[in-house]
Amino acid sequence: MEAVAELPFEMGMIYEGERIRGPDMYVELGGPKVKYKAELTQSREASEIEDGLVKVIGPDLSEMEEGGRYNFGILMEVAGEKIEKDLEAVLERRIHEFCNYVEGFMHLNQRYDIWCRVGKKAYGKGLTSLKFLGMALVKLFKAELPIIEKIQFTFITDESEVVEFHSRALEIYKARDARARELKDEDVDEFYGCVLCQSFAPTHVCTVTPTRIALCGAITWFDARAASRVDPKGPNFPIPKGDLLDEVRGEYSGINDVTKEKSLGEVERVYLHSIFDHPHTSCGCFESIAFYIPEVDGIGIVPRDFQGEAVNGLAFSAMATQAGGGKQSHGFLGMAIEYMRSPKFLQADGGWERIVWLPSQTKEAVLDSIPEEMRDKVLTENDVNNISDLKDKLIEVEHPVVNRWEEEPEEAGEERDLEAPVMELPGEMVGLPAGSGVRIILENARIHADRVILKKEGK
């Protein structure tokens, strides 16, 4: 923890886990209630940067309404002899970490999905301008990453400027992802890992391969490689492949060894391309969740920005509790949207032939990657909104998952619920006081319910 004389707050790792709840927030910047938000790091020539400069385009914090929600852009520009284009994405990802070092400021998610809050207390203590946040970030970035020789920040809150910035940022993210798509896992000698999110999820280890972008959707194999080269002591590191133990599931002895070591023994095996048995762990910043639907033996997908309930009656936030926290959750997987474009997308589980439901907007975004014969069979919220209609509709469109119903379980001679997920529920959900620390784990449980309804108290 460090007190900085000219800044009206303290900063340090100690504040990383700090959450600012609705009633405690002064303003919200980005987040699910506004449409335009993005953060972007760009490398520049040294002559193009005024080191330490922080600009605010649009209303600053003191000009905002208390309780308001605003479109928001963060542009970070850097220069340095060792700074290359490949480093932009990983430097950009550290904005999340360093913003959270600031007392009274919260930053969630990444890229086009950032969600920040300024706390009332912090505002009262003097955090009345984004310039202070920028000054803190300049200091933190330069202290942690000496390769940055010059750095400047621009915060954008002016609505039309954010709209323009947002669309420019989307183009740049797209180009980064497209570049990684040209490579296959077989073309490279090593994969890369990331443990940046261990501050929130201590047993979480990301493995990034050419066909599996990190679940936050912000770090490709190229990005992680560049970062591990220039900052070997940082959160990114090489993962030797070791032996390929299972080609279809994507299990490598090298990934298992490194994950075991970095998760402090908690996670021993990882399948890169399955949501069952030993799925990749999920921290909290996944762009979407793949979830098993036992009633139809299929898989649904819900992205973070989907408002409302998925076909199983659960909202993204309810399932995020199952998937996240650095655990391996059989039947739940946090993943990037870009992973749906991977040639190995959940290949061990049947790939697109196993996907029964995803929201129309996401389907549209990844349509080119869905095999043509599956495009009419993967259903959306416009086709069906509950499990019993889902069954009928899958029969109607002749979804390949229907063939699995006949084969299992009798013919296969095994119990279907070998693949039933383990449900872990916070104690609050069964009436224990919030924060009681009690979690209810239902392992191998057989529960029949036509519908599960979760309601907030008082609604």
Interface residues with ligand SF4 (CB under 6 A)? 93, 194-197, 206, 214-216, 218-219, 283, 285
Binding partner of 218, given Zn ion, ligand SF4, none, CB within 5-8 angstroms per partner class: ligand SF4
Binding partner of 214, given Zn ion, ligand SF4, none, CB within 5-8 angstroms per partner class: ligand SF4
Q: Which is nearer to Zn ion, 285 or 366 (CB)?
A: 285
When binding is defined by CB under 5 A, the residue of 122, 127, 197, 402 that contacts Zn ion is 197
Q: CA–CA separation, 183 vs 187, rounded Å?
A: 7
Task: Find out whether 147 and 83 touch, Cβ atoms under 8 Å.
Answer: yes
The C-alpha angle with vertex 2 and arms to 68 and 283, in degrees rounded to 5, equals 60
Task: Find out whether 369 and 340 touch, Cβ atoms under 8 Å.
Answer: yes
| Shortest Å, Cβ 31 to Zn ion | 17
DSSP label at 180?
H
- 3 state DSSP class of 442: strand
Please count the residues of this chain forming the interface with Zn ion, following the rule CB under 5 A.
3
Q: Which is nearer to ligand SF4, 99 or 378 (CB)?
A: 99
Binding partner of 358, given Zn ion, ligand SF4, none, CB within 5-8 angstroms per partner class: none
Sign (positive or negative) of CA dihedral 20, 22, 25, 29: positive
**Look-up of token digits 């999905």:** 113
Q: CA–CA separation, 152 vs 267, rounded Å?
A: 40
| Shortest Å, Cβ 204 to Zn ion | 7
| Shortest Å, Cβ 15 to ligand SF4 | 18
| Shortest Å, Cβ 200 to ligand SF4 | 9
Q: Which is nearer to ligand SF4, 196 or 272 (CB)?
A: 196
Question: What's the number of CA atoms in the CB half-sphere (13 Å) around residue 376?
Answer: 5
Q: CA–CA separation, 223 vs 33, rounded Å?
A: 30
Q: Which is nearer to ligand SF4, 219 or 311 (CB)?
A: 219
Instruction: Find the binding residues for Zn ion in span 267-286 (CB under 5 A).
Output: 283, 285
Binding partner of 136, given ligand SF4, Zn ion, none, CB within 5-8 angstroms per partner class: none
| Shortest Å, Cβ 283 to Zn ion | 3
Q: CA–CA separation, 303 vs 445, rounded Å?
A: 27
Told to check if 335 binds Zn ion by CB under 5 A, we report no
| Shortest Å, Cβ 295 to ligand SF4 | 30
Question: What's the number of CA atoms in the CB half-sphere (13 Å) around residue 248?
Answer: 6
Q: Tell me the two tokens of residue 259.
A: 């994950």
How far from the centroid of its chain's Cα atoms is residue 210's Cα? 17
Binding partner of 390, given ligand SF4, Zn ion, none, CB within 5-8 angstroms per partner class: none
Binding site for Zn ion (CB under 5 A): 197, 283, 285
